Amino acid sequence: AQKVTQAQTEISVVEKEDVTLDCVYETRDTTYYLFWYKQPPSGELVFLIRRNSFDEQNEISGRYSWNFQKSTSSFNFTITASQVVDSAVYFCALSEGRTGANNLFFGTGTRLTVIP
């Protein structure tokens, strides 16, 4: 069975601080995909990044970076020098690698508030 755990329900940081959002997953599949989505108050889920299970290379995109570690089943997300516009709910999600099994299993989300 698939499961995604985001233990941090809410985080508040002061603008320009760095913040890391944790994600731990469970799956029996050897091939799977991990995602991070951002949900601003407008409600639309915005795609941030996708990693497949065979690619443990960490990635940096501007102020965002991701740390994928299969050994600990974690896929953590760090925002450097946070900004007020980063305030949103962030979801980690997992999908299986089998054909036809494309739906996403989401964590419960972490609400990030960046205080000016």
CB of residue 44 to other proteins, shortest distance in Å = 5
Of 16 and 98, the one with the shorter C-beta distance to other proteins is 98
CB of residue 81 to other proteins, shortest distance in Å = 26
CB of residue 14 to other proteins, shortest distance in Å = 24
| Residues contributing to the site for other proteins (CB under 8 A) | 4, 31, 33, 35, 37, 42-47, 50, 52, 91, 93, 95-109
Of 39 and 80, the one with the shorter C-beta distance to other proteins is 39
Half-sphere exposure of 15 (CA within 13 A, CB side): 5
* Residue 10 to residue 115: CA distance in whole angstroms: 13
* Residue 75 to residue 91: CA distance in whole angstroms: 11
Of 11 and 45, the one with the shorter C-beta distance to other proteins is 45
Of 52 and 58, the one with the shorter C-beta distance to other proteins is 52
Q: Contact, 108 vs 10, CB < 8 A?
A: no
CB of residue 16 to other proteins, shortest distance in Å = 28
